[in-house]
Amino acid sequence: MKFSKSSLLASVVGTALLSTSAFAAGVHPETGEKLADDQTFTYRVLDEHSSVDPAIVEDVSGSELVRNLFEGLYNQDNLGNLVPGVALSHTVSDDNLTYTFKLRDNAKWSDGKPVTAGDFVYGWQRAADPANASPYAWYMELMSLENAEAIIAGDMEVSKLGVKAIDDHTLEVRLTQPLPYFALMTTHATTFPSPKWAVEAHGAEWIKPGNIVSNGAYKLETHVPQETVSMVRNTNYWDNESTIIDKVEALVMNDENVALTRYLAGETDRTEAPAGQFPRLKKEYPDQAVVFPRLCSYYYTFNVSDSGPEEFKDVRVRKALAYAIDRRVITDAVIQGGQFPAYTFTPAVTAGFEVPKVDFADWSQAERDAKAMELLAAAGYTKDNPLEFDMVYNTSEAHKKIAIAMTQMWKQKLGVKVNMNNMEWKTFLNERGNQNFELARGAWCGDYNEASTFLDLMDSGSGYNDGKFNNAEVDKLLADAKSSTQPQANYTRIEEIMAAEMPVIPIYHYTNTFMMNAQLKNWPIKNAEQNWYAKNLYKVAK
């Protein structure tokens, strides 16, 4: 997780070796595998992307496109470690507030112009500029950039943002507080550079094919809304020599079953396995069905705010409900996608996160059930005076199945009566965000690969803390972790407090279940954030 100089240096050397090695046609330069003649990578996306403008993009499918079209200061390797992008290296001042990035001098835009530090300054200013109203403007604040907050609020000129081009190849960034994982944040699409001349020439239309100028390994060729986006090799890209995939195509398919059929018909190289079908697919296509952990948590949150029910203010009730859920049944019998039963909020796959010893994780389910019955009885609920509450989830077949399984477990083991409700997504968010619920479904995916991206939700001041859990010790541990170089102990302690207080019921940690063409190689399955770069992929011959 921590950014290390030596690994960076190793990757610089590695990249240099790669680009100078003889690139024999038709053979992979490192592995010697015979390459397929057609190096087109086609993948399915669930929905049309929001934008391919790095300063504006907010969704996953848009970020995937941006990551292939543009290149930021750093990229991630297959494990999620930093490797040089436009930046070769950086230095940090003694007070940890000033970062100086050294940029490579051979990086070029797709129109041949050099990529300069000024392009990053312009890109970051665009992201923060209130006139652009980027939904990801807050990322500039999250990075603790100097004056970002005032600029976004419209109280300061955008030129005062804490980022400066010392010369064409030196970028200086000033922070308001030390941020140990700052360098990691520069792999995010919002921090990618923008070509000022193209933006000024075409205005809002600059991201359309024909107008767009980009500095990544690919350039945008066509975009047919709601159907396809295709990208082709950017011959001006500095590492074009070692890029193998020639063309990348994203096909929009809203329905996962049709997407699977079209995958099986050979129309795409990658699609998601529909819920519940993974075991069958794994059996029929063992070389194509892949599963790996994902940086996301599925949970239910108690409303412990003033508007929440009295029952949930009793920690014994919260614990009893959390204990009585047999997570194995949910992962293995209900959703069947290889998910991991969760006893902590933060997924085990999170970089640097050591899963703390949480007592109920080690018990058998029978022990958990016994404890749950004991706790609920102690809280004063019996067969004649059963616990009753409402639970709500957003409308979806999968959520419904899980909710039914949970309520059945509660009913059978504890005699609890639950009224299930489902709501359409935006209504659900509105109600949950305003604490108009008793027990609500939640899911969270990490914005970056560090435990604080999950645990920050437990901060009493967090806008994402829907249950309004409020614990002074957690707040302090989180605040201290921000500037600590060894925050792991804090994270462990927070998880212990959560296990003791049970503000949320962790259910499972997500997996990605893909169907992937067996010819497609080097997919970063060990990169928990799934930040993939088509330039690192290749297809071998059959």
Partner 1 sequence: MLSYILRRVAIAIPTLLLLIIISFLLMHAAPGGPFTSERPLPPAVLANIEAKYGLNNPIYVQIINYIGGIITEFDFGPSFKYKDRSVNDIIAHGFPVTLTYGFLSFAVAVIVGGALGIAAALKQNSWLDYFAVGVSIGAQVLPNFVMAPILVLVFTLWLGWLPGGGWNDGQWNHLILPVIALSTSYMASVARLTRSSMLEVLHTNFIRTAMAKGLPYKVIIFKHALKPTLLPVMSYLGPAFVSMITGSVIIDMYFSTGGIGQFYVNSALNRDYAVMMGITILIGGLTILFNLIVDILYAWVDPKIRY
| Closer residue to partner 1, CB minimum distance, 224 or 333 | 224
| Closer residue to partner 1, CB minimum distance, 196 or 202 | 202
Residues 188, 124: Cα–Cα separation, whole Å: 12
The pair phi, psi for residue 48, each rounded to 5°, is -55, 140
Query: For the chain, what percentages of helix, strand and coil (3-state, to nearest 5) are there?
Result: 35, 20, 45
Pairing of strands 40-45, 87-92: unpaired
- The reply on whether position 264 binds partner 1 by CB under 8 A is yes
Number of residues that bind partner 1 (CB under 8 A): 52
**Least Cβ distance, residue 56 to partner 1 (angstroms):** 5
- The reply on whether position 154 binds partner 1 by CB under 8 A is yes
**Least Cβ distance, residue 192 to partner 1 (angstroms):** 16
Options 188-196, 218-226, 323-331, 526-534: segment touching partner 1 (CB under 8 A): 218-226
Interface residue with partner 1 among 252, 295, 498, 504 (CB under 8 A) is 252
- The reply on whether position 56 binds partner 1 by CB under 8 A is yes
For residue 96, the tally of other CB atoms under 10 A from its CB is 15
Helix ranges restricted to H, 439-515: 452-455, 472-483, 488-501
Instruction: Name the helix (H) or strand (E) containing 284.
Output: helix 278-284
Residues 42, 522: Cα–Cα separation, whole Å: 15
**Least Cβ distance, residue 228 to partner 1 (angstroms):** 7
- The reply on whether position 251 binds partner 1 by CB under 8 A is yes
**Least Cβ distance, residue 195 to partner 1 (angstroms):** 16
User: Between 345 and 384, how does the x/- string for binding to partner 1 read (CB under 8 A)?
Assistant: ----------------------------------------
- The reply on whether position 133 binds partner 1 by CB under 8 A is yes
| Closer residue to partner 1, CB minimum distance, 34 or 208 | 208
Query: Which long-range contacts does 125-134 make (Cβ < 8 Å, 24+ apart)?
Result: 125/158, 125/159, 125/161, 125/163, 126/55, 126/194, 126/199, 127/54, 127/55, 127/190, 127/191, 128/152, 128/158, 128/161, 129/158, 130/154, 132/55, 132/56, 134/55, 134/56, 134/190
List the interface residues with partner 1, window 434-473 (CB under 8 A). 443-444, 463-464
Interface residue with partner 1 among 31, 430, 483, 486 (CB under 8 A) is 430
Residues 216, 473: Cα–Cα separation, whole Å: 44
| Closer residue to partner 1, CB minimum distance, 263 or 508 | 263
- The reply on whether position 304 binds partner 1 by CB under 8 A is no
- The reply on whether position 40 binds partner 1 by CB under 8 A is no
- The reply on whether position 256 binds partner 1 by CB under 8 A is no
Question: Which tokens hold the place of 434?
Answer: 């305003």
- The DSSP code for 240 is G
Interface residue with partner 1 among 77, 111, 149, 221 (CB under 8 A) is 149
User: Between 184 and 213, how does the x/- string for binding to partner 1 read (CB under 8 A)?
Assistant: --------------------x--xx-----
Can you point out the beta strands (E) in 47-182?
A: 74-76, 82-84, 87-92, 98-103, 163-167, 170-174
Residue 140 makes CB contacts below 8 A (sequence gap 6+) with 124, 127, 128, 148, 151, 152, 161, 190
| Closer residue to partner 1, CB minimum distance, 20 or 430 | 430
Question: Which tokens hold the place of 509?
Answer: 């940690």
**Least Cβ distance, residue 250 to partner 1 (angstroms):** 11
540 bridge partner residues: 35
393: left (phi over 0), alpha (psi -120 to 50) or beta: beta
Binding site for partner 1 (CB under 8 A): 47-53, 56, 130-131, 133-135, 137-138, 141, 149, 152-154, 204, 207-208, 224-228, 251-255, 257-258, 261-262, 264-265, 267, 424-427, 429-431, 433, 443-444, 463-464
